Structure 1
Amino acid sequence: MSMNGEYLRVTPRELTRALEDPEWLLDLAEEIQDAQEDDDETTPAEARHFTTHQTWNLLDFLLKRSLFPVDIVYGEQLLPEADDWSYGPPRYVTADRVRLAADALTRMTYDQLIQGVDHSELGAAEVYPQNWDSPASLDWARDLFTPLTEFFRAAASDGHALVIWLD
């Protein structure tokens, strides 16, 4: 079984309801994931759910190293009274912080993010899933970085918050 980084766009109204009823949010997340799985043509900008698959820990390492202003891998605030959704309870990022993250993501490239990183640093830091045997392994998250940026930009444009969890 693998650990995947998961994101759900929520409106301010949905976030308010989720803070009061975390079980409702889990049902909503599952409903949206199921609906999107049936639609292969949904772009990251149109999507309400996005996954970074197993690259979440690599992205976290790279973003923290670059002093990224928002925790977009784990989320910033714990969803109160929420049960574990697999590997812990979900967290969220408010709409204002999503906007800040989207702006910061838009101003960087993946090449800038990995600049000066040696693949051996990832092994030493025990970055999941610990397959950092060559310099090329740094490219593992490259194909997800642009879609992640598009997802954040769309969420920011719509005034959405994000719920984040590991599944």
Structure 2
Amino acid sequence: MPDPDPVAEAVPRIIEANQAARAELMEAVDALSPERRQERWFGEWSIHDVIAHLYEWQNGYAHALERMARGERPEIPDYDPQGGDDAFNALASERNRHLPWEELMAHLRAARERHEAAVKNLVGRLPAERFEEGRTARNLSDTAGHDREHIEPILQWRREQRI
């Protein structure tokens, strides 16, 4: 009997964690009025901006994972390592600020689906050592942490605003 593939074993758990975190995020932003979704409260960001930020990063992670599955160097489109995360975040927010909420949510769903497919596609294509904790492929696969990084501030804001 062949040894189990550690990537194949880890992928379902990662996807499940990602799905659970996304459900928590959706619950946190559910039923907010259009005005509240546009209200700036997280520094210069609104809920709309936070969702745009998550969409752009997850879509970028999916792109990077797709490249890794083909044996290419991972990269996130429009991410400039010299500019860093802040520059990419500003671009993501600005690029999506004009989108209607429903369209932004459709982009977020599509990014999640693309990302999930990219994570699943790593099975059998990526050596186990490249999927260990802390390695690039594992970090790009795990979006639960990024979603949860934003959930608590949203819930705190909602409590403070009594909404």
Higher strand share: 1
Q: TM-score range by the shorter chain?
A: under 0.3
Larger Rg: 2
What TM-score does the superposition give when structure 2 sets the normalisation length?
0.27
Question: Structure 1 length as normaliser, TM-score?
Answer: 0.26
